[in-house]
Amino acid sequence: MERFGLVGLPNAGKSSLYNALTGGGALAAPYPFATKDPNIGVAMVPDERLDRLSVMSKSKKTVHAQVEVVDIGGLVEGASTGEGLGNKFLANIREVDAIVFVLRAFEDDDVVGPSDPIEHLRIVEIELALADLETVEKRLKQTQRAAKLDKSMVAETEALQIAYDQLSEGLPLYRAGLKDDVKELLAPYFLLTNRRVLVVVNVGEDDIESIPEKEKLISDEFNNAGDNVEVIGMCIQMEAEAAAIED
């Protein structure tokens, strides 16, 4: 089962999105680190084609595809050096197959932290890139020495050098246009930025009409990421409330 990790600054809407997707009861509170340990749940993937086939075949039970959703907790500036939940937070991200960035784009005097989604994105990307840079730097030194005696290590060393050069510029690997063979060579290191990303821009209930504008604002930031990044805007609070309504 694929695992998706919800990542973002405190109070961005991660726990509310988790509840909307999984029907879970994760604490969603207007203060930092309300989520100290990951919440893990399962979300169904609706598919009208499957429903129609089920009707045609008169199936007694229809089983939709599922994904595991992990509400990891709030990331703060300095997480790569141990701030906030620090290494525990970063370790939880390494265990997921894809990352869902939740960026706050709503104003609320009762919720601490910035409301600018670009600022949220900047902090999240820098912290993940710095954590990857530390991992790559350590391994690169090892493979450079090993490659002098073992030529089979040359390709891996070259891939690590490419990653190091990009990360040193503060560029997450999903923005770096890496070739598939390079991504494959880097896969065993479970790098935080060497995976697909879905960005959820969380707007306020009174700001629904701004969703296309906010989506474009963030999409423009990823204009060099190819198909590695997808952006979608929504009001997570409304989605969470709607999901709690009985059919």
* Residue 136 CA, distance from chain mean position: 20
| Ordered domains of the chain (ranges, CATH) | 3-243 (3.40.50.300)
Beta bridge partners of residue 6, listed in sequence order: 71, 100
DSSP assignment letter at 107: -
User: What φ, ψ does residue 206 adopt, rounded to 5°?
Assistant: -95, 10
Per-residue pLDDT tens digits of the chain, which is 247 residues long: 788 889 988 889 998 999 899 887 655 555 444 445 678 888 888 888 888 888 888 888 888 888 889 887 667 665 555 544 445 667 777 878 889 999 999 988 878 778 899 999 998 898 889 989 999 999 999 999 988 888 888 999 999 999 999 999 888 999 998 999 999 999 999 898 998 899 999 999 999 999 999 999 999 988 877 778 899 999 999 998 888 776 6
**pTM for the full predicted model:** 0.81
Beta bridge partners of residue 8, listed in sequence order: 74
Q: Alpha-carbon distance 106 to 188, whole Å?
A: 38
CA dihedral 85, 108, 103, 113 (to 10 degrees): -40
| Of 179, 163, 177, residue with least CA distance to 129 | 163
